Amino acid sequence: MKRTFRYRFYPSEVQAEQLSRTFGCVRKVYNLGLQARTEAWRLRHERIGYVDTSALLTTWKQDEDLAFLNEVSCVPLQQALRHLQSAFTNFFGKRAKYPRFKSRKRSRACAEYTRSAFRFRNGQVTLAKMAEPLEIVWSRPLPPGVVPSTVTVSRDAAGRWFVSLLCEDPSVTALPAVDSVVGIDAGLEHLPIFSTGEKISNPQHERRDRERLVRAQRALSRKQKGSDNQARARLRVARTYARIADRRRDHLHKVTTRLVRENQTLVIEDLAVRNMMTNHNLARAIGDASWSQFRSMLEYKARWYGRTVIAVDRWLPSSKLCSACGALAASLPLQRRTWVCGCGVAHDRDVNAARNILAAGLAVTVCGAGVRPQRNTPGGQSVTKQKA
């Protein structure tokens, strides 16, 4: 199982300058490749690929105006063209939009080195065209005897430097099978609500740091554009955002790891988060909860450790459906957190939803049923429409 290990490192002034130059060259080559492929199609209806742009890279290096491309390692430049090829593959496969040009201000500053462009020896990483190894903070050890196949160096908006090592990790194996299954409902006050009745509070990291963020953004808005003061103020804003994102990611890792270790099957709801973000009253809270990241972590960890994640239909009326008798409530406003069914059972809105999600997920595993909203029969009883 290939796995990426990410560490912070602290470059020297010479290394920082060299890496910054490499980031700029990578961005330039990517943009040149995108421009060449776009013009080839628009002018000549010719589709060119990675091999053609790789040949063009040699020509670009011979141009006097692009002679600076020779000052950095050629491997990150070739990798940029491979990434461009992947972007076009996803576009033609209708999995992404047409590739866009990279911007110095908005694009991620990174460079990827394959095995021929770095040396890994005695726990130290030395990149091509660098005399000294990177000063990496080894917050956790690599698997014993493992040699990275790819090294990616990046710098975030807060000015922090990271190195990511792609390794084949033999320690990632399936966990022993267990009998427990759980339904999970995503909320705002409580991030995951389980069918067992347990709730885990949402730390709301952005809300807790909102005052600090507001002060930093107001200070940034008062600075003169292009000044050093504006650059320092922008860095303070970026560091505040980084603090929020790091704490949120850490919390999600802890919750998802626990869920995968304790349960064999995890049932979640297929939420349309992008559509829900159009609700301007809830968009900030939904973004702070990071439901998409929660699901992504849950799915890849389940693949690692031999667990199963089932996503039920987003149109399942999980909150309004009685988990005891199956009756469907006529209406249930968002502000009502508890309700009583006609059968006399009192429900917590979120726990009831998690139980219905679990039942729907188990139905999918047993008979391949597709969950659909309920309808009432002429006799007054509710039934579930299912797709065979």
Closest CA relative to residue 104, chosen from 10, 26, 196? 26
Give CA–CA dist 275/282, Å, rounded.
11
Catalytic residue among 112, 185, 206, 288: 185
Residues in the chain: 388
Catalytic residue among 112, 206, 288, 350: 350
Catalytic residue among 112, 206, 269, 288: 269
Q: Is 185 a catalytic residue?
A: yes
Task: Decide: 357 and 316 in contact? Cβ < 8 Å.
Answer: yes
Q: Is 39 a catalytic residue?
A: no
Give CA–CA dist 201/259, Å, rounded.
15
Q: Angle at the Cα of 36 (from 35 to 41), degrees rounded to 5?
A: 100
Residue 53's CB is within 10 A of a number of other CB atoms, namely 24
Q: DSSP assignment, residue 113?
A: E
Q: Is 348 a catalytic residue?
A: no
List of long-range contacts for 326-330, beta carbons under 8 Å, 24+ apart: 326/374, 326/382, 326/384, 327/382, 328/374, 328/376, 328/382
Instruction: Compute the CA torsion angle 68, 71, 76, 81 (nearest 10 deg).
Output: 30
Known catalytic residues are: 185, 269, 350
